[in-house]
Chain A
């Protein structure tokens, strides 16, 4: 029974709350602050942060759910086709979760590598998707002008937020573990 609870309840209520608060904060940052943080023509994608954090800390299932939700919000905020970023971030959250399950360690190096890889993948996938539907006509130029700078920007932000989220998620996970032990 205990195993069942641990497996099905991949994420505790506490960590869900932390992730939802993080997602809500990032939505507000994306709408209000991101336009003012443009460097050149590159603006950060704050909604990548909860996706990467939930993927890294809570697994692929939770990562893809948060990725889909954040992507859909990003689609509604932007001017591109609705469903595009939801698709991209869904895959990113899932891949991030899978990578963390197979490569994750308690140190700092591996999460940072995963964050950078997933940020690159997210921006590259977005560029490919936009090229496929005809909205990114200069794909090669966009690699240098948008994909790489935004990857750097997003990865730096995610690396700043990740320790904070891990700090807040740890007690929530411990709480879940203790509750399961009582069962």
Chain B
């Protein structure tokens, strides 16, 4: 028995549902770009993030043994001497010692952050990294402090080695930080030795690229790169990394410079969110552990404004 509309269905595929969903997607995209950061879609995402943050944290905790398992395979290529030494060392360890070691490392990290605050004369909130972005296109981390702790969008984030990134979104009890290695990030920086300013951008390969350094300037591998303070987002003088490659011909306008960050996202556990309004960080101690050629900047005589500096992450918002 045929029913009305049956021939139509036989004749071809019913395109109505896919077309409706396609239109909904385009409407969502349009609304996302047109609404502000407090718009309904942004609010829904914040709510969703609030709900899923505990799950992500649980996943990070559960992932620790698998990371350790990965290290086992990495260590399989170690020399026999190293293996023997490690086996002897492991034999001495007990479960209690491992637990105590964990506590000790945590205290060390927090002490490092406290010393950093004292050394740089900065105001900040220490936070724990609770998750990483599970997406290949974005390099972000989630921290366990949010608006309830005085954190707001745009605040710089650093660890005990150097600059980590910038707060992109905040919820009551957590925040998302876009790392400086993200392809959408940009930081106004300068070469510490020559005070030449440029813009540091992230990339998909995890390295940092320093742009707008004129070919007439002198840049060498190993030069330290620090924030310049131009743009007003990051205070001047935070250590970022060191130059590992400089390329440029005499006919070029600018160098192509690759910078290796001092901080590695794989090692982020505790970070410091700069909540103060400092425009410059000054060092009175060597609490931080920058590269050998790097020291926290205290030079206030550097020429400002020459570089075409622009700061902040794109973030797509």
Contact = CB atoms under 8 A, between A and B. Distances in A.
A135 B25 contact: no
Interface in B38-75: 41, 44-45, 48-49, 52, 55-56, 58-60, 62-63, 66-67
A42 to B, nearest CB: 5
B29 A94 contact: no
B48 A76 contact: yes
Contacts of A42: 136
Interface stretch (A113-121, A140-148, A171-179): A140-148
B184 interface: yes
Interface stretch (A14-22, A57-65, A103-111, A155-163): A57-65
Contact of B67 (A36, A45, A133): A36
Interface residues on A, range: 35 or more
Given A35-B56, A79-B316, A94 B18 contact: yes
Interface residues of B, number: 59
A11 interface: no
Instruction: Choose among A4, A45, A65 the residue with the greatest number of B CB atoms under 10 Å from its CB.
Output: A4
B100 interface: no
B95 interface: no
Contacts, number: 163
Nearest to B64: A36
B148 interface: no
Contacts of B137: 80, 126, 130, 135-136, 142, 146
Interface in A122-137: 126, 130, 133-137
Interface string B62-102: 11001100000000000000000000000000000000000
Contacts of B134: 30-31, 34-35, 38, 43, 77-78
A146 B3 CA distance: 50
Nearest to A72: B28
A164 interface: no
B167 to A, nearest CB: 12
B135 A79 contact: yes
Given A76-B44, A79-B316, A90-B18, A1 B1 contact: yes
A4 B2 CA distance: 8
B168 interface: yes
A96 to B, nearest CB: 13
A40 B26 CA distance: 32
B6 A4 contact: yes
B139 interface: yes
A81 B6 contact: no
Nearest to B45: A76
A170 interface: no
A81 B316 contact: yes
B316 A135 contact: yes
A4 to B, nearest CB: 5
A64 B139 contact: no
A84 interface: yes
Contact of B32 (A31, A74, A81): A81
Interface in B202-245: 203-206
12 contacts: A1-B1, A41-B204, A61-B14, A64-B18, A71-B25, A77-B49, A78-B134, A78-B135, A79-B316, A80-B137, A82-B28, A141-B204
The 7 closest A-B pairs by CB, nearest first: A32-B59, A83-B28, A36-B63, A34-B134, A83-B29, A87-B25, A35-B134
Interface of B: 1-3, 6, 9-10, 13-14, 17-18, 21-22, 24-29, 31-33, 41, 44-45, 48-49, 52, 55-56, 58-60, 62-63, 66-67, 131-140, 168-169, 176, 178, 183-184, 203-206, 314-316
Given A36-B66, A74-B135, 11 more contacts: A30-B134, A32-B56, A38-B134, A43-B136, A60-B18, A68-B24, A77-B134, A79-B176, A136-B183, A137-B184, A138-B204
